A and B are shown apart, each in its own frame.
Chain A
Amino acid sequence: MKLLLVEDQAELAISVQNYFLKEGDVCEYANSFAAASEKLHGYEYDVLVLDIMLPDGNGLELLEIVKQNWPHMGVVIISAKNALDDKLKGLDLGADDYLPKPFHLAELNARTKAVFRRRLQKGENSLSLNEIKIDLDTHEVLVHDQLLDLTRKEFELLHYFLVNQRRLLTKQAIAEHLWGDYMDTADSFDFVYQHIKNLRKKIVKAGGNDYLETVYGVGYKIKSS
């Protein structure tokens, strides 16, 4: 996946860029409206990750230009302006997703990948890990080609792990991914544990391996081997 990150905060941009580079994606970075439009005209990108507040212009204007010239490009808006207006305006103008700052990098990765897949991978839209395969269109999970009965949250959890395969996902990042704004208590970590436990149980029961590894009680990760 080739993506362009438009973000005026260099420190944040570097973290995001590193994250995507580690994923094996191509991630270029522009720190202003002008730099971004120059890059857009020079190269082709799959997804644009766009900050609305730019030093030399409004990201929403850039979004309009993108939608006119490159209608197939996926757009994820990231904004610190927690304004609902911007969110609605952005989605109206054709953005695919909106993520308020601050966000977890794993969350941005998952959202960006989802946009990328929806827009550009016509036909098969699935993720897999050895014997486990999930279909993102039908929301079906197969273990050894055997259909697994998962709840919606369990599916989202597995999806999150498969998108961020090499990463340590903290309980907090998982809780926010699953419950978003509705969750703000420390209790939520017990809920994460319960969901992981159920998911593990279901995969093992269907003959799959237990790939989920607990990392020092802080979070979870897919075992590398």
Chain B
Amino acid sequence: MNLIIRVTLLFVLVSFVVFLIGGVISFGVMMRQVNSEQRHFLNERLDRVTRMIDRRKPEDTLRMNKLIIVPLDENLEESKSFRDTLVVHTQLERLEPHLKLDAIKNVGGRSYQVVMYDVIIEPDDIKEGLQESLIKIYLILLGAIFVLSFLVSMYTLRPFNQTLEAIKKFSIKDQDSKITFPKTGIAEFKRLNLFLTEMTEKVKSDYQSLKEFSENASHELQTPIAIIQGKLEVLMDSNKLEEDQINQISSAQHTLNRLKNLSTSLSILTRIENKEFDKVSGLNFSGEVERMLGEFKELIELKSITLTSEIEPDVSVEMDEVLCELLLTNLINNAIKHNWEDGSIHVSLTSEALEVTNSGPDLEIDPNELFQRFKKSNQSSGSLGLGLAIVKKICDLYSCRLEYSQANKQHTIKVALNH
């Protein structure tokens, strides 16, 4: 959910609660005010009535509109009490709640009972009026909030959205493009932009040095390896060597060869990560699979492995040619390497997926770790454990799903083709 919408909804909710409580409070305050105002009014009227009694000195009971004056025979103490009562309303001709003032007044040495009524303003009437006005105010407020949130997202948050857009366009590979953020007067956004500028610059320079390192590392490693290999070969060629010495040299060469493969594989992994293989073109995948199986035919036969294949013709993929070859080489090599003598390999290709199934001993490692670097089923084997890591990297690059499954000592690696 959008930030502004979320804040707005929260505000609407909170203001609703505030209005509810505010309504109850206003109602209480109003009722109190109305009551005290009414008593005040009756008190004033009582004063006027007292003055009138003083002038006219009535002998009989006097009944006027909402006023009864009764001259009393005995002298009583002055008193005053308010009561709520129901009185027939003369115009409406129905019972209406009234406030009744019942007082004893001593005027000119005689006591009078004075009873006065006044129509009470009903709580229901106040409630209704209050409700109506509050709802109207609330609606106006809602409108104002929505207008405000629109303005905020349009103007106040614009620099933030522009920053987001700028980050989205940021490419770590593109060294020339400098990420520029819009000018803003808001301190938080200023700080955010400053921080992002520094961070992207840092990331770029780190990436660049890492890239340079991996490029150079490959070169810098291959040259000494080439020198050592040359020296060992020249040494081996001299005629005065004993069997033991030749074996020592040969063993050194084997180890050197592992080092060479290691540096090549790591440099390939790095270059895939750096997206350096970007000559993507439509490839005839069926043809490539057939061709690679041809290349490996001999190696497969020499291990007495039976190869069967079901290849749907004219399956095409969008892929870099070198990566396509690396993918197939590593998959087939893997199927040969982890196989038995007289084992079997089955390759099937449909427009949906490529599947390579081979016989072989059970995995000694967690299948989930199979595609990680330097994870190999047999730790002592001569394999580096990088082949399937390369396969995984290539599949990740092209968003192809890679799955491993096994049943009855048959191992299947499935590459889902992404069309």
From A15, A19, A194, name the one whose CB has the most chain B CB atoms within 10 angstroms. Answer: A15
Interface residues of B in 291-341 (CB under 8 A from A): 295-296, 298-299, 302-303, 322, 329, 333, 336-337
B219 near A53 with CB under 8 A, answer: yes
0/1 per residue, A108-125, Cβ < 8 Å to B?
A: 000000000000000000
Interface residues of A in 181-225 (CB under 8 A from B): 181-188, 190-191, 194, 215-219
Closest residue of chain B to A53 (Cβ to Cβ) is: B219
Q: Which of A12, A22, A182 contacts B227 (CB 8 A)?
A: A12
B contact residues around A15 at 8 Å (CB): 227, 230-231, 233-234
B contact residues around A185 at 8 Å (CB): 333, 336-337, 382-383
A contact residues around B237 at 8 Å (CB): 22, 167-168
Q: Which of B219, B228, B302 contacts A191 (CB 8 A)?
A: B302
B230 near A12 with CB under 8 A, answer: yes
Q: Which of B254, B256, B295 contacts A182 (CB 8 A)?
A: B295
B234 near A80 with CB under 8 A, answer: no
From A191, A216, A217, name the one whose CB has the most chain B CB atoms within 10 angstroms. Answer: A216
Q: Does A172 contact B (CB under 8 A)?
A: yes
B218 near A182 with CB under 8 A, answer: no
0/1 per residue, B365-390, Cβ < 8 Å to A?
A: 00000000000000000111000000
B247 near A12 with CB under 8 A, answer: no
A contact residues around B351 at 8 Å (CB): none
A216 near B230 with CB under 8 A, answer: no
Chain B facing A: main interface SS: helix
Q: Does B208 contact A (CB under 8 A)?
A: no
Query: In the complex, A142→B302 CA distance in Å?
Result: 26
Q: Does B197 contact A (CB under 8 A)?
A: no
Query: In the complex, A19→B337 CA distance in Å?
Result: 35
Q: Does B119 contact A (CB under 8 A)?
A: no
Closest residue of chain B to A191 (Cβ to Cβ) is: B302
A-B contact pairs, 20 of them (CB 8 A): A11-B227, A12-B227, A15-B231, A81-B219, A82-B218, A84-B322, A101-B222, A101-B225, A102-B260, A104-B229, A106-B233, A170-B250, A172-B253, A172-B257, A182-B333, A185-B336, A186-B382, A191-B299, A191-B302, A217-B247
